[in-house]
Structure 1
Amino acid sequence: MNRVSRIVPGVAVTTLLLSACGSSDSADPAPSSPSSSTASASTSQSPSNATVYNLPGSGVFPEGITVADDTFYVTSTSDGSVFRGTVGSPNVEVFLPGGADGRTGAAGIDTADDDDLIDRAQYLVIAGGATGKVWVYDRNSGGLAATFTNGLGADATFLNDVAIADNGDAYVTDSRSPVLYRIPFGQMTDGVQDGPLEPFVNFDGTPFVYGEGFNANGIVENDNESALIVVQSSTGNLYRIDKATKEVVQVDMGGATLTNGDGLETDDDTLYVVRNRDGLIAEVDLNDDGRSGSVTGEITDASFAYPTTVAAVDDRLLVVNSQFDKRGGAPVEPFTVSSVPE
C-alpha cells in the first residue's frame, strides 16, 4: 500500500519548536566500510513504496540536495562530503571527499538549472554552515572554482542554504547572523579564494526579526523571479526579499505558520516547505509575486527520518533524511534519500 499521504490542514500549527527531531525506518544494510566511496545496492523499496537511495559511509548526517537533469548531489554535515547519484540508478558515490579544500562541513547546496547558465558554467555552490565559508565547484569535474567567507566565528554564523537566481547570482542564508549574502555570477568562475561574502540585505530594522534558535533557513526564487522567499525556522514565517528594491516583507499566509521550516523547493505553482521536526512537507500555493500564499496540503511518508530539504525531478520529490535527532545516539544506517511522488 502506498502510504504517501496528502492532508489538507484545517488549523494552523502554532507551537514553537526550535530544534529538530524525527524518526527513522529500517533500510538495507550499511556499506561494510565507512570509507566506502560507493554505496552498493543503494536503491530499495521502503514499506511506503518510496524509492530509497542509500548514501555511502557512516555517520553521514546529510542535509542539502540539488538536482541537475537526472543527477543529484547531497551534502554531509559531518565532514563536508558531497555525494553524487543518478535518478533511477542503484549507486550513489562520494563526489567531493570530506575535508578537501577546508570543507569540514556542508549544509545547503544548489546548481544552475537554466539552460543559458548551464551553457556558460556548470557549477555547484555549497554553504559551509559554522565554517562561514562557501565553495564553488565544477559539477562535472569536481574542480574547485572559488571560495568565499564572511569572516565570522563559528558561534556567530551558520551559512545554511543557497539559491541560484535566474541571472546566475547565488544567495546564501545565515541562520545566526541577520544577513542575506549574494555572490555575483561573475565571481564564481574567476578563481577567487576566500573572497569576501557580499551582504545583500541586513535584516536589522526589517520585519524579519532574528531571535533565539535558527532563523533564516531555506531559500528559493519566486515564480516570476522578482524576489527571494526565505523561511524562518524558529517562527515558521515566510519572508519575501525583493531583488531590485531589497524590500523585506512577511508573506501573508492567512495566519498559517510553517514551524520548523527547513529546505524549500518550487515546482510550477507549488512551494514545498520541509518541516524537519514534524517529519513532513507542506505544500503551499504561493502567488506569482510571492507576497501571499496558502497551505493546501501536506506530504508524509514512512521513510522520512527528520527530513531537511527536498528537490523536485520528474514528478518526484527527493527528500533528505538527516536523522539529526540521533546525533550522539544510534542512527539507522545507511543514511538515505527518499523519492516520493509529488
Structure 2
Amino acid sequence: MNTFLRSRFAAFTARFPTSYCLVFAALQVGFSSMNYAQSQPSDANAHRSKVAFQLPETGLITEGIAYDSQTETFYISSVHERKLISYSVKKGATDFSQPVDSLWGMFGLKVDPARRLLWGCSSALAQAKGITATSDGHTALVAYDLKTRQLLHNYPVPDDGKPHLLGDLTVSRSGTVYATDSRSPWIYRLDVGAKTVTPFLTDTLFRSLQGLALSDDEKTLYVADYRRGLLSVTLSTKRVTCLSCAQTADLSGIDGLYYYQNSLIAIQNRKKPYKVIRVYLDKTTSAIERVEPLDVDHPLSTEPTLGVVVGKQLYYIANSQWEAFDDAGKPVPNFSAAKPTILVLPLN
C-alpha cells in the first residue's frame, strides 16, 4: 500500500488523513541501539535477498504479490495500469485480468487455495491511470476464478462520503476476508456467501492501517499501522493491543506483514534504509520478544512494498516505483523506469 511518493511525509494523503500527516512528519520514534545492534546480520549476510524474477513491462507501480502453489504461479498487482499480471517459470509474465474488468488501482492480493480464488484490493486514486476526481477515494474487494481468470465478484465499500483505500487483505481458512483501509481507520470483513463488505472494527489506536496477518490458530489478527507500529486484534472480543508501544526498536513504517513460525515478517519502507525484519513473539503470541533484521538496504530494494511467504522464503516487490508519477498521477519527467523486480529472501 505504498500509496504515494517516497517523499511521503508531504504526499501521503492515502496513508494518512491530512491532520495525521503533520503529526507523522514530526514523529521521531526512538531506537534501541543495543537491542537492534545485537540482532544485526553480519556484513556477509546483509543482503540475503536474491532476484527471483523480473517483469518486462515498466510503468506499472507494482504493489502486491500472491502465490498459487497448485499451479506454481505468482500474481502481481499494478496500481497505475489497473490490472493483474501472472508469472510462472514456464509461461513467463502475462496479463491475468482484462480491461473489461474495469478495475481501479490494484493493491494487496491473496490466494484462497481451497476455493480457487484470487482476492485483491481495488482502489481509486490519482496514480491509477484514467481515474477521475469523482472516483478518487472509492475502493472494493474483487475475487477472480483462478482457473478461468474470470472476475467473479466486486464488493465495493459502501459510499459514506469519506475517502477509502483498501490496501491489503488476508483470507482465513474458512474463506473470511479481512482488509485494512489506509485512508479511514477501519478493518473491513467479508464473510463467505455475503454480498457486501461490512465494517468490522475501528479503534482509537488506528491511524494508517497497512498489512495484516492471521495467527496459525486464526484467533488473532496482527495489523501494521504505519504510524504506531504493530497491533494485535483478538477476533472473538475485538480487543486491540499495541504490541510495539512497549518496544524501543522502531516498528513504524511497516507495509507488508506476514505470520511465520510464531513470528511476524515485516517490510519497512517509511524511511531509508528500507528493511525486511522478523519480529519474534513470545510463547503467548501476545507480546514481542525481539526484533531481527533479515535484509537491510538492499541495492535493488529501492521502494519495497508487499510480499508473500512461500515455504520458507519471502518473495517481495523490491521496486514498486511510485516515484514515477506525481501526486496528480502525471509521469515525472526524466524518470528512469526499471523492470519491476521481485526478490526472494530465505527466512531460516
TM-score (norm: length of structure 2): 0.73
Please, which runs of 5 or more residues in structure 1 have no aligned partner? 1-7, 14-46, 188-194
Task: Provide the rounded CA distance (Å) in 2 between the counterparts of 1:319 and 1:90.
Answer: 20
Q: Percent identity?
A: 23
1:111 aligns with 2:111: yes
Post-superposition shift, 1:285?
A: 0.6
Please tell me the residue identity of whatever aligns with 1:176: R
Q: Which position in structure 2 is the counterpart of 1:318? A: 315
Relative to structure 1, the CA distance from residue 299 to residue 196 in structure 2 (aligned partners, 3 Å threshold; closer, same or farther) is same
Compared with structure 1, are the counterparts of its residues 243 and 108 closer, same or farther at alpha carbon in structure 2 (3 Å cutoff)? same
Give the counterpart letter for 1:94 in structure 2: D
Query: In 2 relative to 1, CA 304–150 (structure 1 residues): closer, same or farther, beyond 3 Å?
Result: same
Matched, 1:333 2:338: yes
- Matched position secondary structure for 2:105: coil
1:56-67 mapped onto 2 (5 Å cutoff): 56-67=56-67
The one-letter code of the counterpart of 2:286 is R
Deviation at 1:283, TM superposition (A): 0.9
CA contact (8 A) 1:53 1:92 kept: no
- 1:248 aligned to 225, 240, 263, which one? 240
**Residues 1:257 and 1:149: Cα distance change in structure 2 (over 3 Å):** same
Deviation sequence 1:258-285 (CA, Å, 0-9, x none): 2211011122223111012432211111
Q: Partners in 1 of 2:81 and 2:120 — Cα distance?
A: 13
Q: Which residue of 2 aligns with 1:33?
A: none
The offset of 1:158, in angstroms, is 0.9
1:163 and 1:172 in contact (8 A); partners too: yes
Distance 1:338 1:90 in 2: 19
Normalising by structure 1, what TM-score?
Answer: 0.74
- Among 144, 149, 163, the residue aligned to 1:137: 144
CA contact (8 A) 2:215 2:221 kept: yes
* SS of match in other structure, 1:319: strand
Which letter does structure 1 place at the counterpart of 2:280?
Answer: D
Return the offset for 1:286. Answer: 2.2
CA distance in 2, matches of 1:11, 1:146: 46
**Take 1:282 and 1:302, find their aligned partners in 2: how far apart are those partners?**
16
**What is the 5 A alignment of 1:1-342?**
10=34, 50-69=50-69, 70-86=72-88, 88-89=89-90, 91-97=92-98, 99-113=99-113, 118=114, 121-130=115-124, 131-152=138-159, 156-187=163-194, 195-203=195-203, 206=204, 208-210=205-207, 215-235=208-228, 237-252=229-244, 254-277=247-270, 278=272, 279-287=274-282, 289-293=284-288, 294-300=290-296, 301-321=298-318, 322-327=320-325, 328-329=331-332, 330-342=335-347
Secondary structure at 1:307 match in 2: coil
Q: Matches of 1:176 and 1:292 in 2, distance apart?
A: 27
Q: Secondary structure in 1 aligned to 2:299?
A: coil
Deviations 1:182-239 (A, max 9, x none): 011223xxxxxxx432111122xx4x142xxxx000011023321111101123x111
Residue 89 of structure 1 deviates from its aligned partner by 4.8
Between the aligned partners of 2:150 and 2:156, the Cα distance in structure 1 is 19
Structure 2: unaligned runs, 5 residues or longer: 1-31, 38-46, 125-137, 326-330
The aligned residue for residue 191 of structure 1 is none
The 3-state SS of whatever aligns with 1:173 is: strand
Query: 1:167: how far off?
Result: 1.9
CA distance in 2, matches of 1:320, 1:246: 31
Q: Give per-residue Cα distances to partners, 1:68-106, cap 9 Å, x unaligned.
A: 2132111001122111123x5571221113x43220211
Q: Determine if contact 1:283/1:299 at 8 Å carries over to the other structure.
A: no
Residue number in structure 1 paired with 2:10:
none
Per the TM alignment, residue 153 of structure 1 is displaced from its structure 2 partner at its CA by 7.4
Q: CA offsets, 1:126-166, max 9 Å, x none?
A: 11133311111112211122111113379611111010013
- Runs in 1 of length 4+ with deviation above 3 angstroms? 8-13, 152-155, 287-290
SS at match of 2:306: strand
Contact 2:52 2:315 survives alignment (8 Å) = no
> Partners in 2 of 1:157 and 1:249 — Cα distance?
24
Tell whether the 8 Å contact from 1:133 to 1:147 is kept in structure 2 after alignment: yes
Equivalent pair of 2:220/2:232 in contact (CA under 8 Å)? yes
Q: CA deviation at 1:332?
A: 3.0
**1:299 aligned counterpart, secondary structure:** strand
